[in-house]
Structure formats: C-alpha cells, structure tokens
Amino acid sequence: MEKQLLDLETALERLGGDKEFLIELLEELVQQIDQTLPDLKKAIEEKNYDEVRSMAHGMKGAAANLGADKAMDIFLKLEMMGKEHNLDGAMEALAIAEQLNNELKERIKTV
C-alpha cells in the first residue's frame, strides 16, 4: 500500500480530534522543513554525514508524529544515507522532500 501524503485520521486520533491544533502543528512542521532544507543541502554538499543523519532524523520524527508519511519516508532515506556515509541520490531525495513539503502546505488548507 502506498504511503499517504497526510494520514489525517491517525494524526487527529493522536491529538484527541483537535483539528485546529493539528493544523497549527502541521503549519509548524512545514515551516520547520522549510528552515531545515537549506542546512540539509549544505550538509549534503559538504558530505557532513553526521549532520545529514541528525537533521533528517529530526525531520523524520516530526513528520511521523503528524502522519506526514511520505515526508517521513524521504527523511528516513536521507537519515540512512548519512548513517551509511553514502549520499548518492541525496540531492534528488532533498528535491522530493521540498516537493512533498509544498504538497503538505496545500493539503493543510483543506484539513
């Protein structure tokens, strides 16, 4: 089964059905991703594996907690690349993360 951009049902369940709070947290998530992507790009360019792993790990956790499953998967991929000291395809994964973040911004408007 393909992962969802946003597992709204699970996210709402975790927050006791508080839709306004979920929207607030999702807006914080997309802002956090926006702020992290340039630093993540720099870490990839500098082959700073520990920074790539650490930043991707943080973003993965934040995305997972809010049901942003596709974003969680791409940050997991980047985390593993950093852990394995192999950044082949990392810039492509970063571009996907940016696209998913843009899709999340649009999806939040319909929550």
Give the pLDDT score at 105. 96
Domain that residue 92 falls in: 15-108
- The confidence score (pLDDT) of residue 2 equals 77
Residue 3, pLDDT score: 87
Count of domains for the chain: 1
Q: According to the model, what pLDDT value does residue 98 have?
A: 97
The CATH code of the domain that includes 79 is: 1.20.120.160
Quick: pLDDT tens for 70-100: 999 999 999 999 999 999 999 999 999 999 9
Q: Quick check: is 36 in a domain?
A: yes
Q: Is 69 inside a domain boundary? A: yes
- Given a cut of 50, the residues of the chain with pLDDT beneath it are none
pTM for the model: 0.94
pLDDT of residue 27: 97
Whether 1 maps to a domain, the answer reads no
CA atoms within 13 A on the CB side of 97: 31
